[in-house]
C-alpha cells in the first residue's frame, strides 16, 4: 500500500470530497427538471402551473437568471404586475444586459401605466422588430411620452 494511503488527512479529504460529490450530483434536489416542466407548461399556456414550477425551482436556485426571468414572464401573463416587476428587476440586478429581462421590465411598466424608458424601448424595438407587444409599446411610448 502506498504511503499516502495510510495518511489520515489524505483519507479524510478523499471521504469528504466523495461525500460532497455524491451530495451535489446525486442527492441534492436539482432545479433543472422543475424549470423544464415550467417551460413546457408555459408554452402550453398554463401559466399558473408554470409559475408554481418556476417558484419551486427558484427556491432551489434563487440566483439562476433563467428561472427568475421565466417567473417574471409567467406573472406578466397572469397580470400580476408587481410580482413580475420584482422578478425582472431581480434578473436585471444579477445580469443587467439580459434582453429578456429588459423586455419584460419594459412591458410590465407599460402595461401597469408606469413611465417607460424610451431609450430602452428603441433598443428593444430594433432587437424585436416583429414582436407585436414591442411594436404596440413603442407606438404608445412615442405617442404618449412613455405613459400607457
The model's pLDDT over 126-148, given as tens digits with 9 standing for 90+, comes to 888 888 888 888 888 888 754 44
Q: How far apart are CA 148 and CA 133, in angstroms?
A: 13
Domain span holding position 66:
62-144
Q: What's the CA dihedral at 131, 133, 137, 140 to 10 degrees? A: 110
Q: Is residue 57 part of a domain?
A: no
Do 14 and 67 share a domain, yes or no? no
Domain identity same for 72 and 131: yes
Question: Are residues 17 and 67 located together in one domain of the fold?
Answer: no
One domain, residues 92 and 138: yes
Comparison of pLDDT for 20 and 67, the residue scoring more: 67
Same domain, 139 and 84: yes
Q: Judge whether 139 lies within some domain.
A: yes
Residue 61 has pLDDT above 80, yes or no: yes
22 and 66 share one domain: no
Residue 44 confidence (pLDDT): 97
In a domain, 136, yes or no: yes
Model confidence at 49: pLDDT above 90: yes
Looking at the fold, whether 19 and 72 belong to one and the same domain comes out as no
130-139, long-range: CB within 8 Å, 24+ apart, which pairs?
Answer: 133/107, 134/103, 137/106, 137/107, 137/110
Query: Does 23 or 53 have the greater pLDDT score?
Result: 53
**What value does the mean pLDDT take over residues 97-117?**
89
Same domain, 86 and 139: yes
pTM of the model: 0.74
For residue 25, the model assigns a pLDDT of: 66
Contacts of 38 (CB under 8 A, 6+ apart): 50, 51, 52, 53, 54, 57, 70, 74
Average pLDDT, the chain: 87
Q: Let me know if residue 53 belongs to a domain.
A: no
Q: Which has the minimum average pLDDT: 37-46, 70-79, 123-132? A: 123-132
- Section 6-25 average pLDDT: 76
Which CATH number do you get for residue 113?
1.25.40.10
Residues 17 and 84 placed together within one structural domain of the fold: no
Give a yes or no: residue 66 inside a domain: yes
With respect to residue 137, please indicate whether it lies within any of the assigned structural domains.
yes
Percent of the chain whose pLDDT exceeds 70: 91
Claim to verify: residue 66 and residue 24 sit in the same structural domain: no
126 and 75 fall within a common domain: yes
For the four alpha carbons of 63, 104, 85 and 119, in that order, the dihedral sign comes to positive
Q: What is the pLDDT of residues 19-42, one digit of tens each?
A: 777 656 665 568 889 999 999 999
What is the total count of domains within the chain? Answer: 2
Amino acid at each position: 500500500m502506498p504511503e499516502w494511503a495510510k495518511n489520515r488527512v489524505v483519507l479524510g479529504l478523499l471521504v469528504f470530497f466523495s461525500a460532497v460529490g455524491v451530495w451535489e450530483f446525486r442527492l441534492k434536489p436539482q432545479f433543472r427538471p422543475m424549470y423544464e416542466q415550467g417551460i413546457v407548461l408555459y408554452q402550453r399556456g398554463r401559466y399558473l402551473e408554470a409559475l408554481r414550477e418556476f417558484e419551486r425551482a427558484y427556491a432551489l436556485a434563487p440566483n439562476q437568471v433563467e428561472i427568475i426571468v421565466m417567473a417574471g414572464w409567467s406573472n406578466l401573463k397572469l397580470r400580476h404586475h408587481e410580482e413580475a416587476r420584482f422578478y425582472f428587476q431581480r434578473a436585471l440586478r444579477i445580469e443587467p444586459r439580459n434582453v429578456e429581462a429588459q423586455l419584460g421590465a419594459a412591458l410590465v411598466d407599460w402595461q401597469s401605466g408606469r413611465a417607460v424608458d424610451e431609450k430602452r424601448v428603441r433598443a428593444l424595438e430594433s432587437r424585436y422588430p416583429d414582436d407585436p407587444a414591442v411594436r404596440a409599446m413603442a407606438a404608445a411610448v412615442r405617442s404618449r411620452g412613455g405613459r400607457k
